[in-house]
Amino acid sequence: MKMLKTLAAGVSALALTVGAAQAQISDGVVKIGVLTDMAATYSDLAGSGAVAAAEMAVADFGGTVAGAPIEILTADHQNKADIAANKAREWFENENVDSLAELVTTSVALAVFEIAKQQNKIALVSGAASSPLTNDACIPTGIHYTYNTRALAVGTGSAVVKEGGDSWYFLTANYAFGEALQRDVSAVVEAEGGTVLGASKHPFPSSDFSSFVLQAQASGAKVVGLANAGADTTNAIKAANEFGLVASGQSLAALLMFITDVHALGLDTAQGIQLTTGFYWDLNDETRAWSQKFFEKTGTMPTMVQAGVYSSVSHYLKGIEATGSDDTDTVMAWMRANPVNDFFAKGGEIRTDGRMVHDMYLVKVKSPSESKGPWDYYEVLRTIPGEEAYGPLSESTCPTK
C-alpha cells in the first residue's frame, strides 16, 4: 500500500514536471521552417538534402523535445527575396513557426532577417555566405552557422597569394553575395601584399562565361578569382578550361565551391582546385558515420550547408530541451552559452554578433588517380582555426554585438 502511494506520488510529480515543461512550449509544438532553394541553381548544395538533414536532426531527437512534438515545415523560396520574406511572415504569423533554418542565397537571408527581427524569431542561416549577415546586417536573433565569405577569403585567398598569386581579376556574380565575396577576398589579397586588377560582374545566373573568361585573360592577372557559386562556378571553370586560361599560365581560384559542384564537374576538370569548406564527410569516424546515414537517405554525400543544417537544428533543439522553453531569448541565451560539440564542429562558439565560430578546412581536389572511389574528392591541406577564419568579435561591425 505504502509502495503504491509512493508510486502514485512519483507519477503525479512526473506528470506535473512534464506539464510544466509543456506549458513553456508555445502552442504545444516546436515548429521549424526549412526555407530553401528546392529546384534552382542552389538546390543541390541545399534543397531537399537540407530538408533531409533537418529531418535527421529531429529523428535523432526522437521526434519530441521537452515533451512537445517537433514539426518540420518546408518551402521553396526560388532564390527570390520577396518570396522568402512573404513565406517567413506567413509562417511566423499564421503557423506559429518558432525558427527558420537553411536560408541559402544572401538576398534571401537578408530579407528573412528583417522579418525575424520584427517578429523576434530565430533564423539559423546555413547556406547564405555573405559576411554582412554578422556585421552591418546582423540581428539579435540571427545565427550564421556554417561559413561566410570572410572565412573563404582567409582560407583560399591567402593560400593562393602565399603561393605567388599576387595579382587578381574577379568574375563576380552580380548580387549581394558576389560583391561581399569579392570585397572580402580583395581585402585579404591586399593585406598580403597582392593587387586587384579588376572585375567583371556577370548576371546571376549565367550559362556562358566565355566572354568573361576572355576579359580575365586580357587583364593579365596571375589569378582569376571566381566570386560566384553553384552552376555559375562550374560553368565558369568549364569555360576557363576550354579557352585555355590555365594552359596559358593563369590560375583559377574557386572561392566558393561545394562537394556537389566537384561531383558535377568530375575530377578530370576539377582536379587541383583549392577551396575552403566548413565540412567534409571524410574527416574522421564521426563525420563518416553521420555522412553515411545521410547518403543512405539522399543518395549523395552532404555539402557543408546540409551538415550545417543538421548541426544548427540539433543545437537549437538541445537549447529547448535544456531550458524547457521555446522562448526566443531563452533559447538564444542557451545556444550562445553552450559550445557546439558534434560531428560538424568541436567547441563551436556562437558569438553575440550571431557568428558560429568553428574550424574551417583548406582542401585540394584530388586527381582521378588519387581518388579511391565515388565522393573521395578532397585532400585536406590545412585546418584553419575558427578565430583566424572568422576574425575576432572586436572586428565585427554588428551594432548589437
Partner 1 sequence: MLADLLGIPPQLLFGQLLLGLISGAFYAVLSLGLAVIFGMLNIVNFAHGALYMLGAFASYFLLKILGINYWGALILAPIIVGAAGIVIERFLLRRLAGVDHLYGLLLTFGLALVIEGLFVKFFGASGLPYPTPEALKGGVNLGFMFVPWYRAWVVVAAVIVCVFTWWLFERTKVGAYLRAGTENPTLLQAFGVNVPLLTTLAYGYGVALAGLAGVLAAPITQVAPLMGSNLIITVFAVVVIGGMGSIMGAAVTGLAMGMIEGLTKVFWPEASATVIFVIMAIVLVIRPAGLFGRTA
Indicate which single residue of 73, 187, 231, 322 sits in contact with partner 1 (rule: CB under 8 A).
231
Subset of residues 102 to 131 that bind partner 1, contact rule: CB under 8 A: none
CA torsion, ordered 223, 135, 357, 334, to nearest 10 deg = -160
Indicate which single residue of 32, 36, 43, 130 sits in contact with partner 1 (rule: CB under 8 A).
43
DSSP-derived secondary structure for 74-85: EEE-TT-HHHHH
Contact string 251-270 vs partner 1 (x = CB under 8 A): ---------xx-xxxx-xx-
Residues in contact with partner 1, counted by CB under 8 A, come to a total of: 43
Binding span for partner 1 by CB under 8 A among 146-154, 189-197, 236-244, 389-397: 236-244
The answer for residues whose C-beta is within 8 angstroms of residue 386's C-beta and 6 or more apart is 348, 349, 357, 358, 359, 360
Q: Quick check: helix, strand or coil at residue 388?
A: helix
DSSP state of 133: G
Asked if 323 touches partner 1 (CB under 8 A), the answer is: no
CA distance 258 to 60: 26
Indicate which single residue of 34, 35, 44, 227 sits in contact with partner 1 (rule: CB under 8 A).
44
Indicate which single residue of 18, 73, 205, 336 sits in contact with partner 1 (rule: CB under 8 A).
205
Binding span for partner 1 by CB under 8 A among 60-68, 89-97, 205-213, 351-359: 205-213
Asked if 218 touches partner 1 (CB under 8 A), the answer is: yes
The neighbour count for residue 303, using CB atoms within 10 Å, is 31
Subset of residues 263 to 302 that bind partner 1, contact rule: CB under 8 A: 263-266, 268-269, 300
Asked if 368 touches partner 1 (CB under 8 A), the answer is: no
The answer for residues whose C-beta is within 8 angstroms of residue 135's C-beta and 6 or more apart is 353, 396, 397, 398
Binding span for partner 1 by CB under 8 A among 124-132, 238-246, 332-340, 373-381: 238-246
The three cell numbers of residue 245 are 586560361
CA distance 221 to 189: 13
Question: Parallel, antiparallel, or unpaired for β 99-102 and 30-36?
Answer: parallel
Asked if 400 touches partner 1 (CB under 8 A), the answer is: no
The answer for residues whose C-beta is within 8 angstroms of residue 304's C-beta and 6 or more apart is 146, 147, 258, 259, 277, 278, 279, 280
Asked if 336 touches partner 1 (CB under 8 A), the answer is: no
| Interacting residues with partner 1 (CB under 8 A) | 39-45, 47, 174, 200-203, 205-208, 210-212, 214-215, 217-218, 230-231, 234-235, 238-239, 242-244, 248, 260-261, 263-266, 268-269, 300
